[in-house]
Amino acid sequence: MRRILPFLLVMTLFSGFLLKAQPAFYLQDSIREIRINFAITNWDHVLDSLYILGDEQRLIADLVVDGTLIPGVGVRYKGYSSVSTNRDKNPFNIKLDYSVAGQKYRGIDKIKLSNVIQDPSFIREVLSYEIARKYMPASGANFANVYVNDTLIGLYTNVESVDKQFIEQHFPSKNNPLFKGNPEVLDFSGGNSNLDNSPGTDPADYYPYYTLESTYGWDELYHLIDTLNNHPDQVHKVLNVDRTLWMHAFNYALINFDSYVGYAQNFYIYRDDFRRFNPIVWDLNMSFASFRFTDASDYWDGFDLNEAKIIDPLSHHNSFSIIPRPLMRNLFANDTYRRMYMAHLRTIMEENFANQEYYLRGAYLQNLIDSDVAADSNKFYSYADFHTNLDTTVTDLIDYPGLRDLMEGRLAYLNAYPGFRAGPEISSVTPSPATVALGDELGILANISNATEVWLNYRFSSGDLFTQIAMFDDGNHNDGAASDGTWGISIPEIGSKVEYYLYAQNDSAGKFSPERAEYEFYSLTAALYPQNLVINECMSANTHRFADQDGEYDDWIEIYNTTPYEISIQGLYLSDDPANPTKWALPNGQISGNEYLIVWADGQTSQEGLHASFELDPAGGMLLLSSSDSTVIDSVEFGYQYPVTSYGRYPNGTGAFQEMLPTFKKENSLAASPALEDQFFVYPNPAQDQVNVIARVERPLEIEIMDITGKRLAAPLAITDEGLITLSTLGLRNGLYLIRLRGTDFVETRKIVINP
């Protein structure tokens, strides 16, 4: 009789950001103290000179962060318009591993400090990143008092770098193509990094407009540009469309136009494992309409504060693009994408501005840094301007709008904008039935009004793409009566985890549930029972048989999914210590039905791939596979292993553990080693350049190789040490030979075929 597994029907919201929390170094509620100590007194002249030359070289300094000394860092200025050789307060880019390889602080190897120019309120950048992180991967940001040679330079914003470490926090891999929209020469009336295809058909034509931050990727970037401009109906294959719509919604909500919108710069794009580029926002110090030089459309020659409040969020669809913006215009041409974008824009406005959340957070941040702003003698605006700008405009070289004044006007305008309201309403989302088993169907029901189309998007792993299927209100999909407002559909053959969200639309507007989808989603998890997922094999003395991606012969553990259904490994742990069953967390991912997963047990967690934080003991030990509550799903106690043997289940996946020849990521079998338990075992057979001998016999021993007639080919070799015996067969012709093992009370001979 089939055993039914109870499903944990607690519908939980999960966010990609919450699952991968920002580094503690960037927690908003902290103010860092950063002291830069140069060995020379004219450090500012040297840094000015390097900046003027456009040189990427750095000046070496010792760094003290919150009392911790970090010697030999490399310092240069960062940015473009925020640097001036006539200023005392310039932005810094500090490379911690500049002269000390691998040097980091709290896992950080680069510190980027912005000088808070173009922002009398001091909070635009930190507050904007905080809002962005609710909807997409975005940098952590807080404040830091910066000293140089014990002199306070001022209060800076400390912003997390978009680098490999950032990518690894938010994506399953970190070595795929990464680009920054960063033109070598900013053309104030040109395309810059707009992803338009006008530069040409050769990837090299795009070198002046984008900075490659990875080891490769120009062909991939051109493929994105070509698809976006010439085949926009296929763009979803090369672009994370939802993430892109969130970026546009963020920029138009906060009037953050020093971005892709204005001069088409200040953004990153990363190509994930599904070959889709994902945009990442950057450089938010001029958000809340501090940048007003252009929107590349109706306000191509700039706009004033009143116009900032009423900029059309679909100007590149409803009007013209004076400078091409294909990443907006070509996406907005799709009716569904356009409604999704407006739904995201509405979510940002409702969750941050309609409820005054931004103002409360802004006031909190200003109170946090109040005394530090007062002590900053190099700030670009007065202390009175600092307080005033949260509410009202501050006039300097330009007008800097008060955040409250701007956003109240922006919200009033958008509330009356066609398609901003009048969308569907989703009042409940319910999984059904109450108990399901791994591999069963899971029904999803939702009460939805004012919708003409509804889609369910689901996946069985946080590292996978969502699959989209239509939902129905026709009475034929376990949805109740036809046209009763209850929409339904079933997900076939569920895995151990189901993550999902809904999108509904009518002819004018759309709605997501949860509203932060797809960055946030509902999640249901099935309980794992013994024998669903097992430790299937391990090798604790791998010296030459199987190499990892770096060519290293490390210990390994094989996990096997005994079911035909996908099982998520997120929330599972491996350990070699029964007292600490959650020693090493498996990452986001899944194991397909009846498939294997290899984890390298080498303690090298920084390497690419799955590398546990512990090593296996060749003398024997314990292995445990556990859930997050320390419940042991499977375990094995293994004994001494030879470098040519492993310890695995036989029959595969279900049987008891025993010594065997390794079957790396394959079905365990004893067919190739039926005599492995003998006192005297020869492997491999046939052999090439060497043969291994396992001798479970008391030492001392003698071993010799003979031809088939019994003629000794070399003097006997004396063996006194325990362990594997390895004999060279180089120089022997193809053929049949004998290996004789002689002990005090033991003599045996084995046949061996040499086939170089």
The tens digit of pLDDT for each residue in 529-584 reads 778 999 999 999 998 889 999 999 999 999 999 999 999 998 899 999 999 999 99
Give the largest CA-CA distance in the chain: 103
Query: What pLDDT was estimated at residue 1?
Result: 27
Contact 304/295 with Cβ under 8 angstroms? no
Element (H, E) at 220: helix 218-230
pLDDT of amino acid 21: 56
Q: Please name the residue that has the structure tokens 């199987």.
A: 546
How many helices (H) and strands (E) in the chain? 13, 41
Give CA separation, 413 vs 168, 306, 319, in Å: 39, 11, 18
pLDDT at 463 (0 to 100): 80
User: Between the ranges 44-53, 76-85, 275-284, 568-577, where is the mean pLDDT highest?
Assistant: 275-284
In sequence order, which ranges of 294-402 are alpha helices (DSSP H)?
Answer: 305-309, 315-318, 326-332, 335-349, 357-375, 383-388
Closest alpha carbon to 408 in 301, 517, 527, 289: 289
pLDDT for 698 beyond 60: yes
Rounded CA-CA distance 345/289 in Å is 17
58 pLDDT higher than 60:
yes
Share of the chain above pLDDT 70, in %: 96
Quote helix, strand, coil % in the chain, to nearest 5.
Answer: 20, 30, 50
Strand partners, 472: 488
| The model scores a pTM over 0.75 | yes
Same fold, 424-525 and 533-660: yes
Q: Edge-to-edge strands of the sheet including 486-491?
A: 425-432, 442-449, 486-491
Q: Which residues contact 57 (CB under 8 A, 6 or more apart)?
A: 50, 76
Class of domain 533-660: mainly beta
Long-range contacts, 387-395 (Cβ 8 Å, 24+):
388/120, 389/119, 389/120, 389/121, 390/121, 390/123, 390/359, 390/362, 390/363, 390/366, 393/305, 394/120
Q: For the residues 640-668, what does the mean pLDDT come to? A: 92
Summarised one tens digit per residue, pLDDT across range 591-644 is 999 999 999 999 999 888 899 999 999 899 999 999 988 999 999 999 888 888
**Across 648-675, average pLDDT:** 87
Task: Please list the residues that pair with 585 across neighbouring strands.
Answer: 573
For residue 528, the 8-state DSSP code is P
pLDDT at 2: 28
76-80, 201-205, 597-601: segment of lowest average pLDDT: 76-80
Q: What percent of the chain has pLDDT over 90?
A: 76
How many angstroms separate the Cα of 99 from the Cα of each of 58, 104, 339, 466? 10, 12, 51, 44
Say which DSSP state 250 is in.
H
Q: What pLDDT does 14 receive? A: 54
CA-CA distance, 720 to 478, in Å (whole number)?
A: 74
Residue 658 vs residue 19, higher pLDDT: 658
CATH code 3.50.50.60 for 680-754: no
Domain map of the chain by residue range? 18-164, 424-525, 533-660, 680-754
Assess whether pLDDT exceeds 60 at residue 3: no
The answer to whether residues 634 and 574 touch, using CB atoms and an 8 Å cutoff, is: no
Please count the residues of the chain.
756
Cβ atoms 296, 321 nearer than 8 A: yes
- DSSP assignment of 337-363 equals HHHHHHHHHHHHHIIIIIT-HHHHHHH
Residue type, 149: N
Burial state string for 505-529 with b = 16 or more CB within 10 A and e = fewer than 16: bbeebbbbbbbbbbbbbbbbbbebe
Residue 19 pLDDT level (bands cut at 50, 70, 90) = very low
Is-contact 134 246, C-beta < 8 A?
Answer: no
CA distance 224 to 203: 11
- The DSSP output letter for 377 is T
Tens-place pLDDT, residues 145-193: 999 999 999 999 999 999 999 999 999 889 999 999 999 999 998 899 9
What pLDDT score was predicted for residue 513?
Answer: 98
Tokens of 527: 């309980």
Residue 585 has what pLDDT?
95
Peptide bond before 518: cis, by omega within 30 degrees of 0?
yes
**Cβ burial 434-454 (10 Å sphere, 16+ → b, else e):** eebebbbebbbbbebebbebb
Query: DSSP letter string over 607-644?
Result: SSS-EESSB--TT-EEEEEEETT--EEEEEEE----TT
The pLDDT score that the predictor gives to residue 139 is: 97
Are 404 and 394 in contact by the 8 Å Cβ rule? The answer is no
What mean pLDDT, rounded, does the chain reach? 92
Q: How far apart are CA 621 and CA 640, in angstroms?
A: 9
Beta strands in 425-485 (DSSP E): 425-432, 442-449, 453-459, 467-470
Superfamily of domain 424-525: Immunoglobulins (2.60.40.10)
165-46-84 Cα angle (round to 5): 75
Gap between the Cα atoms of 492 and 415, Å rounded: 40
Q: Which of 483, 495, 457, 488 is nearest to 472 (CA)?
A: 488
Q: What is the pLDDT of residue 5?
A: 32
Q: What is the pLDDT of residue 674?
A: 60
Cα pseudo-dihedral 586, 590, 593, 597, rounded to 10: -40
- Residues 102 and 737: their CA atoms lie apart, in Å, by 52
107: left (phi over 0), alpha (psi -120 to 50) or beta: left
Q: What is the pLDDT of residues 290-340, one digit of tens each?
A: 999 999 999 999 999 999 999 999 999 999 999 999 999 999 999 999 999
**Quick one: tokens of 76?**
């240069």
β-pair partners for 93? 76, 112
Q: How confident is the model at residue 278 (pLDDT cuts 50, 70, 90)?
A: very high
Q: Quickly count: other Cβ atoms within 10 Å of residue 540's Cβ.
A: 26
**CA 491 – CA 486 distance, rounded (Å):** 17
pLDDT in tens, 502-539: 999 999 999 999 999 999 999 998 777 778 999 999 99
The whole-number pLDDT of residue 509 equals 97
The reported pLDDT for the residue numbered 506 is 97
H-run or E-run covering 405: helix 403-415
Q: For residue 250, which of 584, 36, 516, 6 has the smallest C-alpha distance? A: 516
